[in-house]
């Protein structure tokens, strides 16, 4: 026969374990939003699926043909990169004229290896620009350039924060769905800057 003291000790441990499990479960939950589920941890939402998807894509992507240009240099260039920046500034005037470019990714179409933008003025190309403005939400935009014609692809404009979703998953998938003709390898190499994972800025 088990001593009463041992039984009482086991009951206390069982109650403590149940209390701990109940506490953890009270901090964890699932919530359906838009087209996906968010994990809730202590009142904070986490896009676990998006984070895992982005991590998997980051580990399998090949960015050898994507040029990440210095934003300031891209704006000073006389050539394709400068034309892409000017296309963004002229996309939604007058507010878009204040565009401050944070990141420029360049993909020369049909090329297996990256080429210098200054030498690619006659080649079709894609650009992904990330920028903010004085009076608009920050954006990630696709710009298509063919010969002397440079245009922001209207369907390929992400504007504003991605919260609470993972920014890489949300923006890459958005651009791929809206502009399927864009090079998948370029979209896989889009790394959103941190502002897209932050609350919307006051305008």
Determine the pLDDT at residue 65. 92
Q: Which residues of 42-63 are buried (b: 16+ CB within 10 A; e: fewer)?
A: eeeeebeebeebbeebeeeeeb
- In tens, the pLDDT along 73-105 reads 766 766 788 899 999 999 999 999 999 999 999
SS3 state of residue 52: helix
Vertex 134, ends 131 and 136: CA angle to 5°? 70
C-beta separation of 53 from 166 below 8 A? yes
SS3 state of residue 195: helix
DSSP string over 132-190: E-SSS--EEEEEEEETTEEEEEEEEEEES--TTS-HHHHHHHHHHHH-TTS-HHHHHT-
C-beta separation of 151 from 87 below 8 A? yes
- In tens, the pLDDT along 153-174 reads 999 999 999 988 899 999 999 9
Tokens of 124: 């079709």
pTM of the model as a whole: 0.75
What is the mean pLDDT of each successive set of 10 residues along the chain, which is 203 residues long? 57 57 49 67 77 93 91 72 92 93 86 48 78 94 90 96 91 96 95 86 62
Cα 134 to Cα 176: distance, rounded to the nearest angstrom: 28
Domain boundaries along the sequence of the chain = 1-46, 53-197
Determine the pLDDT at residue 72. 77
């Amino acid at each position: 026969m088990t001593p009463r003291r041992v039984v009482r000790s086991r009951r206390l441990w069982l109650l403590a374990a149940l209390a701990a499990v109940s506490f953890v479960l009270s901090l964890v939950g699932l919530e359906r939003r838009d087209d996906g589920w968010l994990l809730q941890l202590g009142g904070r939402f986490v896009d676990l699926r998006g984070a895992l998807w982005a991590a998997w894509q980051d580990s399998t992507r090949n960015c050898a043909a994507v040029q990440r240009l210095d934003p300031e240099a891209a704006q000073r260039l006389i050539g394709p990169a400068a034309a892409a920046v000017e296309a963004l500034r002229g996309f939604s005037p007058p507010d878009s004229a204040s565009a401050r470019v944070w990141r420029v990714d360049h993909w020369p179409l049909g090329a297996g290896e990256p080429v210098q933008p200054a030498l690619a003025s006659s080649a079709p190309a894609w650009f992904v620009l990330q920028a903010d403005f004085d009076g608009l939400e920050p954006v990630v935009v696709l710009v298509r350039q063919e010969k002397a014609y440079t245009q922001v692809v209207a369907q390929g404009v992400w504007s504003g924060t991605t919260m609470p979703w993972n920014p890489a998953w949300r923006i890459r998938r958005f651009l791929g769905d809206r502009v399927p003709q864009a090079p998948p390898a370029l979209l896989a190499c889009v790394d959103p800057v941190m502002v897209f994972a932050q609350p919307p800025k006051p305008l």
